[in-house]
Structure 1
Amino acid sequence: MSTPEFSLSVFYLRQIAEQIRSIGGDVEHWLAHSQLDEAQLADSSLQIPYAELRLLIGAALSSTKEPALGLLVGERLVANTHGILGYAAINSASLRQAVQLLAHYLRVRTSLVLLSYEIHGDQFRLVFSEPVPLGEIRRPVLEAVILTIKNLLDHIAMGSCNVSEVAFPFDAPDYAALAQDLFKCELRYGQAWAGIALPLNSIDLPLKMADPASFQDAVQICQRELDKLLKSESLSTQLRRIMLEKQGGFPSLNVMARLLHLTPRTLHRRLLQEQTSYKEIIEDVRHTLALEYLKSGQLSIQEIAYMLGYSDIANFRRAFKRWEQLAPSLYRLRMVPSRIK
């Protein structure tokens, strides 16, 4: 499986550094785990690649011995710390518009998580998912991101719409009381999803800080930033991102070429130039999603096989044994202890 080309704005790494410093940690020693120095943390244009970020978050957890680090970092991030995306959200006409904005442009701040939204009964849910399995940094990343977005929604709603509940796909931690104090709403652990639930009957109420002109100006800047990010991506990364966002939808090469405004021959040729192929990318994405689905424990192996486009569960088992050198059922058993922690 190839190294994921996902990243986080250096701004958020700076918040981790400040949190480490606030509890007496050595920031310089922490950064020694990477190629970064403290001066680079001030470069707002810098995006930290996934592999380096995973190393740094792991080192921060280890050096501070603070299991609630994700929550503490998330609490530091107030509404005006999210750049132009935060400014656009503050000027949204309604919470529905703010959520739609965040779902579309969250990538300009981080690609570590995807945000989607759905209606579930009387709830309007913001659902966070992992485009790549986050492994040991899953809990701190989800806690930080969800608390940050929850606080942003509270800020722009100004009491007009209170969060109904927050859901996490892992068991309650030892610091659950701290989490309750920070979220100030119902927390539900061990759920089949991660995210925030809002009352459906309140998400279209007009917001007091709404400014349509400022909102449109900010959205245009967000779009320019997103366009710039997309242009810097390799073609193979674009394909992986599209497939991961679809969470199991695998268009044919011809359909994907049409989506990208390319001919099938051009798409094939450009992938060869990147030393890969459409088949290899689909295989890589299936591998990534299989690991995520198995770790979540929410789907049966037969359901996972179906989600990944295998008509025969035996074919999925063979593919998984080729990827991980063990059966999917054994992999899931091995992952259960780390998932519960």
Structure 2
Amino acid sequence: MQTTASVTQDLGMPAIYLHLLAGVLRTVGLDERDLLRRVGLDPVRLQCTDARVSQAQASEFVIRALIESGEPGLGMMLARELKLPLHGALGVAVMSSHTLQDALDLMTRYLTLRAPHLRVRRQRHADAVHYAIFCDDNPGPMQNFIMDAVLFGCAFMGEQLIHTPVTGVGILRKGPEPAHFHRFRPSINAPVTYNAPEDALVIPRDALAAPIRFRDARLAESSRAQCEQTLKQLTGDTGFSGRVRRVIETSYPFPPKLARVAATLLVSERTLKRRLQEENASFQAMVDQVRLERARELLTGSAMNLSQIAERLGYADAANFTRAFKRWTGLNPSQYRMAPA
């Protein structure tokens, strides 16, 4: 038996998954951008592959999406959108693995990178291996959504890895079969058993040796090393300031007010300031750091003029933005934009 490490801190959720869910909501007629903004999330920032959203905001968005869309099958719909390259370094490592067994071992080891609140327990049976999925905490109304997205997503990604449905693969789900499942059953190329003792992906032991069609030994080694480094960075950034920064990075409107960030993290403004002070950090300094990073991105990676950039960063006008940028870097924005890379 093998189990991933349990993570109780809020390590955030990759923003790209919420971006994908927003796209799903669009197909069912919901104004996804309005919903994101009501939760305090910037739709544009969610497209950044390295951005992470606080667990509190991610949960609020998913729960509101389930309620306002009236679609209980959102998890299954999202599962279809989970293409392997969208999973960052872990997706690359999985795609370049030698066999399906290697790919699943990587998923088990590094799941924290993509879903910190989940863990995997691997159990060997006579003719199959069960990869059971558990939540570290009680996700409440999100339980079925999470398990649908992860388990059906894994089955679909298995097809991507070997180009055909994995022979003999099955999905186990706790609880009775939901009334809406019949609408999705034709698109799922695996038997699904409800009222099972666990939520799990079942893989026949002989299928684990199936070769991955994208296998690349050198890429597999380098991407696994990147996963290890990223995991150390992520789990090392468990302080309160890390949680605050994640909220700042994806907030709408930007910059966020201290009161909004405190409410998102379920603390008082006074507590937020105190806890940041204990970590030798300040809220305004963190906002300015994110502003500087965004300013550099927009100056070098977009054709936006200074007034547009100033507005995007929450400044009253280009002059205020220019003064702040020069204070941070010693250059005015135009000089920075024209400087050689």
Coarse TM-score class (shorter-chain normalised): 0.5 to 0.7
TM normalised by structure 2 equals 0.65
**Is 1:125 aligned with 2:123?**
no
Question: Structure 1 CA distance, aligned partners of 2:44 and 2:211?
Answer: 42
Deviations 1:123-159 (A, max 9, x none): 1111111111111001011101111111112221234
1:68 aligned to 60, 66, 73, which one? 73
Q: Give the deviation of 1:217 after TM superposition.
A: 1.0
The residue identity in structure 1 corresponding to 2:103 is A
> TM-score with structure 1 length normalisation?
0.65
Are the counterparts in 1 of residues 155 and 190 from structure 2 also a CA contact under 8 Å?
A: no
Cα shift at 1:4 = 5.5
Asked which structure has the greater RCO (Cα within 8 Å, sep 6+), the reply is 2
Q: Deviations over 1:57-91 (max 9, x none)?
A: 11001111111111111111122222221111111
Q: Distance in 1 between matches of 2:147 and 2:82?
A: 14
Give the SS at the match of 2:105: helix
Matched, 1:216 2:217: no
Residue 164 (structure 1) aligns with: 169
Alpha-carbon RMSD across the aligned residues, in angstroms, is 2.2
Structure 1 residue runs of 5 or longer lacking an equivalent are 238-272, 275-341
Match of 1:155 in 2: 160
Identity level (%): 19
Closer, same or farther: CA 33–157 of 1 in aligned 2, 3 Å: same
In structure 2, the partner of 1:52 is 57
Of 25, 31, 35, the match for 2:36: 31
**1:207 to 1:20, Cα distance in 2 relative to 1, 3 A:** closer
Separation in structure 1 between the aligned mates of residue 161 and residue 14 of structure 2, nearest angstrom: 23
2:203 match: 198
For residues 152-196 of structure 1, the C-alpha deviation after alignment (integer angstroms, 9 at most, x for no partner) is 122212348424310111211112223322322110111111121
1:88 and 2:89 aligned:
no
Name the aligned partner's letter for residue 77 of structure 2: L
CA–CA separation in structure 2 for the residues paired with 1:64 and 1:93: 40
Amino acid at match of 2:70: K
Once the two structures are overlaid, the 10-residue window that deviates more, 36-45 or 86-95, is 36-45
Q: Work out the CA distance in 2 between the residues paired with 1:86 and 1:66.
A: 28
C-alpha distance in structure 1 between counterparts of 2:165 and 2:184, whole Å: 23
- Describe the SS at the equivalent of 1:193: coil
Q: For 1:174 and 1:6, locate their aligned partners in 2 and report how far apart those are by CA, in whole Å.
A: 34
Amino acid at match of 1:63: E
The equivalent residue for 1:15 is 20
Alignment partner, residue 319 of structure 2: none
What is the distance in 2 between the residues matched to 1:120 and 1:171?
Answer: 24
Match of 1:43 in 2: 48
Residue 163 to residue 86, structure 1, CA distance change in 2 (3 Å): farther
Q: Cα gap change, 1:34/1:160 in structure 2, threshold over 3 Å: closer, same or farther? A: closer
Asked if the contact 1:124/1:197 (under 8 Å) is kept, the reply is: yes
User: For 2:40 and 2:221, how far apart are their aligned partners in 1?
Assistant: 38
Question: Matched residues in 1 for 2:18 and 2:183: separation?
Answer: 22
- Consecutive unaligned residues of structure 2, counting only runs of 5 or more, are 1-7, 243-277, 280-341
- Structure 1 residue 122: deviation in Å? 0.8
Q: Give the match's secondary structure for 1:105.
A: helix
Alignment coverage as a number of residue pairs: 236
**How do residues 1-341 of structure 1 correspond to structure 2 at under 5 angstroms?**
5-159=10-164, 161-234=166-239
Task: Please tell me whether Structure 1 or Structure 2 has the larger radius of gyration of its CA atoms.
Answer: 2
The 8 Å contact of residues 93 and 223 in structure 2, kept in 1 or not, is answered as yes
2:29 alignment partner AA = G
User: What is the DSSP-based 3-state SS (H/G/I as helix, E as strand, rest coil) of the residue aligned with 1:76?
Assistant: coil
1:229-264 deviation per Cα after TM superposition (whole angstroms, max 9, x unaligned) = 0110149x9xxxxxxxxxxxxxxxxxxxxxxxxxxx
Determine if contact 1:114/1:130 at 8 Å carries over to the other structure. Answer: yes
Letter in 2 for 1:70: G
The secondary structure found in structure 1 opposite 2:129 is: strand
SS in 2 for 1:124: strand
- Structure 1 residues 227, 175: closer, same or farther in 2, change over 3 A? same
Shift of 1:37: 1.9
- Measured in 1, the distance between the counterparts of 2:214 and 2:45 equals 34
